[in-house]
Structure 1
Amino acid sequence: MIRPIIKDVLFLAEKSEPATPADLGVVEDLMDTLRANLDGCVGMAANMIGIKKRIIVFAIGEMIVPMINPVILKQEKSYVTEESCLSLTGVRQTTRYETIVVEYLNKEFKKQTGTFTGFVAQIIQHEIDHCNGIII
């Protein structure tokens, strides 16, 4: 189900809780909502649709990738960039890392570890910030 985008900064600033198998419907809603907003958005966190769970999704071309309870294990080569957000107005400067290693659960709740670089790494970092109540 496509859900409305939350723009309440106080809500977005709250930390999200770990997701459980009972939250699989949230994963689907988040994927549907991102798919509906691909013209102006490449990633989303569950709090952007009003649910404070550690779930993110991001687009790689036409494919939408979900990550449940993602944690960045390693980050290399910092750089400064500017980002926008579907939940916020304007562009903000932030520090990101060129390469990250992320541990997460897939939709089957099986543990995965992946190395991500470039723009995909940047998207993942932005969405994990959402899970941590960091507004960029």
Structure 2
Amino acid sequence: MQRPIMTSLSFLRRPAEPATADDLPIADDLRDTLEANRSRCVGMAANMIGEAKAIIAFVDEEMGGRITVIFNPRITAADGAFDTSEGCLSLKGERRTLRYRRIEVDYQDRCMRDRHATFTGWTAQIIQHEVDHCNGIII
């Protein structure tokens, strides 16, 4: 189900709680909401739909542009720092930020199995933005 986009900065600044298997419906709504906004958005965190859970969804260019949903993401390594400017559905305009060209991420899949993956380029940038959301960091 598509949900409205959260714009309350006080809510968005709160770090997310760990996600569990009980949060699968939130993940489905997050994916649906990203799909509905795909023309203007490439990633979302659950707090952007009003849920303070550590779940992110992103358009994974390395997987042919499909939407990938991961739970409890944690960036464990990063290299290749660069300055960039990003926008966000929850905010107006763009803001400058520091990102990394390559990241490693520990996370859980839909079955709550532990996973580890390396992401590069645009996909890595999207994930960093959404992990920031999970940590209550707004660009």
TM range (shorter): over 0.9
After superposition, the CA RMSD in angstroms is 0.7
**Structure 1 counterpart of 2:67:** 64
Residue deviations 1:23-47 (CA, integer Å, cap 9, x gap): 0100000000000000000000000
C-alpha deviations, 1:2-22, integer Å up to 9, x for none? Answer: 000001111101110000111
SS of match in other structure, 1:88: coil
Gaps spanning 5+ residues in structure 1: where?
none
Pick from 71, 90, 111: which aligns with 2:93?
90
Give deviations 1:53-72, integer Å, cap 9, x for gaps.
00000012541101100000
The count of aligned residue pairs is 136
| 1:40 alignment partner in structure 2 | 40
Moved over 3 A (4+): none
What residue is the counterpart of 1:51 in the other structure? Answer: 51
TM-score, with normalisation over the residues of structure 2?
0.96
Provide the rounded CA distance (Å) in 2 between the counterparts of 1:88 and 1:70.
22
Find the aligned partners of 1:48 and 1:122 in 2 and give their Cα distance. 17
Q: Give SS of 1:83's match.
A: strand
Report the CA distance between 1:77 and its aligned residue. 1.0
Aligned partner letter, 1:12: L
- Which residue pairs with 1:20 in the alignment? 20
| One-letter code aligned to 1:40 | R
1:2 aligns with 2:11: no
The equivalent of 2:131 in structure 1 is 128
In the alignment, the residues of structure 1 paired with residue 20 and residue 111 of structure 2 have an alpha-carbon distance, to the nearest angstrom, of: 11
Residue 33 of structure 2 aligns to a residue whose secondary structure is: helix
The one-letter amino acid of 1:129's match is D
Q: Secondary structure at the match of 1:115?
A: strand
2:66 counterpart letter in structure 1: M
Specify which of 105, 108, 111 is matched with residue 108 of structure 2. 105
